[in-house]
Amino acid sequence: MPVIDTAVYVDGARTEDPPALDVVADLARERGGMAWIGMYRPAPEELAGVADEFELNATSVEDAHHGHQRSKLDRHSAGDFIVLKPARYVDDVERVELGELHVFVAADAVITVRHAESPNLASVRRRLEADPDLLALGPRAVLYAILDEVVDEYAPVIAGLENDIDEIEDELFAGDDAVSRRIYELSREVIELQRAVQPLPGIIRSLSVDAPEGRLRDSFADVLDHALRVGDRVDTFRAVLQNALQVNSTLVTQRQNAEMRALGEASLVQSNEVRKISSWAAILFAPTLVGTIYGMNFRVMPELDEPWGYPAALVAMLATSVGLFAIFRARRWL
């Protein structure tokens, strides 16, 4: 349902709910109060109707409809337009999901347009309705409460990322081949979260300047402190992951070098064995060659009729073998 809740508040108290969306602005003015409309992924015509009722800036309305905006604060004569990037940590898949929330703040109205489940604006409304003194401070009080909820919902995200980084540090030195991909994916999530969180301190400071002295300004200061701490943690995570990526690259290089050295040593051992086998084969081949020649039994062979022929053949075989053995031994093949 596009319209989640619509109410008109007078002096911090909720009055009778409007019968239709197109009369909310008139009722707020008649009662001298503030309208608060919560919308979830509204259709263009529904958002356009609310924009006409409250005379919202056309460019901001177009941004709210299309989404995919970065965290920002736009100031117009009709009021402020704030884009926030809430986040939640999905335990099942160990992933950070970023949403988008658009907030229109006019003199007598607050219109929120959500494009994701987060943040829980129903709890924000209940908390403010339970604190009429704060709600009586008007649209700026509602904006403070929304900012506070968005920043508070970063806490479980920070905890989840911290746990993921601890796991990566364990996997890094365990030689897990999948750790490189996980570091890259986690780094991308941290960068996206950093882009969401980084503009918040500037936005909150700008809004705090417009808040009246007292409780509301102090509340903005508290949210600013929390946002700064979240930003510092995210910056630390990014630095740790960059270092982890460098360490992983070094470890991978070291493992590859060790594997290359092992292959080289194995190749050297194999080469030595081949040389030994080849040397002995050559040594054994020499007497075999002499014996083969004299075993051909040709009728005309000078040495066959000589008494020294047989001893000479044996001496030739032995001399050749000994000579080859000496040569191979000198070259350290044997």
Q: How does pLDDT run across 70-120, given as a tens digit for each residue?
A: 899 999 888 899 999 999 999 888 899 999 999 999 989 999 999 888 888
Cα-based distances in Å from 196 to 136, 193, 233, 235: 30, 5, 13, 12
Burial of 40 (0-12, 13-18, 19+ CB in 10 A): middle
Mean pLDDT throughout 227-240?
A: 94
Mean pLDDT throughout 164-172?
A: 84
Residue 187 or 308, more confident: 187
Using the predicted structure, report yes or no on whether residue 30 has a pLDDT greater than 60.
yes
Query: What residues does 76 pair with on adjacent strands?
Result: 79
Query: What residues does 6 pair with on adjacent strands?
Result: 37
* pLDDT band, very low/low/confident/very high, at 319 (cuts 50, 70, 90): confident
Mean pLDDT throughout 242-252?
A: 80
Using the predicted structure, report yes or no on whether residue 293 has a pLDDT greater than 90.
no
CB-based burial, 236-258: b 16+ in 10 Å, e otherwise: ebbebbeebbeebeeeeeeeeee
User: What's residue 295's pLDDT?
Assistant: 67
Q: Which residue has the tokens 């109410």?
A: 7
* pLDDT band, very low/low/confident/very high, at 182 (cuts 50, 70, 90): confident
User: What's residue 33's pLDDT?
Assistant: 93
Other Cβ atoms less than 10 A from the Cβ of 96: the count is 22
Mean pLDDT throughout 274-302?
A: 71
pTM passes above 0.85: no
User: What's residue 190's pLDDT?
Assistant: 94
Mean pLDDT throughout 22-42?
A: 91
Q: For residues 290 and 324, is the Cβ–Cβ distance under 8 A?
A: no
* pLDDT band, very low/low/confident/very high, at 304 (cuts 50, 70, 90): low
Mean pLDDT throughout 215-227?
A: 93
The domains found in the chain, sorted by start residue, are 1-134 (3.30.460.20), 269-330 (no CATH)
Residue 308 or 133, more confident: 133
Q: How does pLDDT run across 33-49, given as a tens digit for each residue?
A: 999 999 998 888 888 88
Q: How does pLDDT run across 46-59, given as a tens digit for each residue?
A: 888 899 888 899 88
Mean pLDDT throughout 235-247?
A: 89
Q: How far apart are CA 197 and CA 228, in angstroms?
A: 9
HEC-encoded secondary structure of the chain? CCEEEEEEEECCEECCCCCCHHHHHHHHHHHCCEEEEEEECCCHHHHHHHHHHHCCCHHHHHHHHHCCCCCEEEEECCEEEEEECCEEEECCCCEEEECCEEEEECCCEEEEEECCCCCCHHHHHHHHHCCHHHHCCCHHHHHHHHHHHHHHCHHHHHHHHHHHHHHHHHHHCCCCCCHHHHHHHHHHHHHHHHHHHCCHHHHHHHHHHHCCCCHHHHHHHHHHHHHHHHHHHHHHHHHHHHHHHHHHHHHHHHHHHHHHHHHHHHHHHHHHHHHHHHHHHHHHHHHHHHHHHHCCCCCCCHHHHCCCHHHHHHHHHHHHHHHHHHHHHHCCCC
Q: How far apart are CA 311 and CA 152, in angstroms?
A: 103
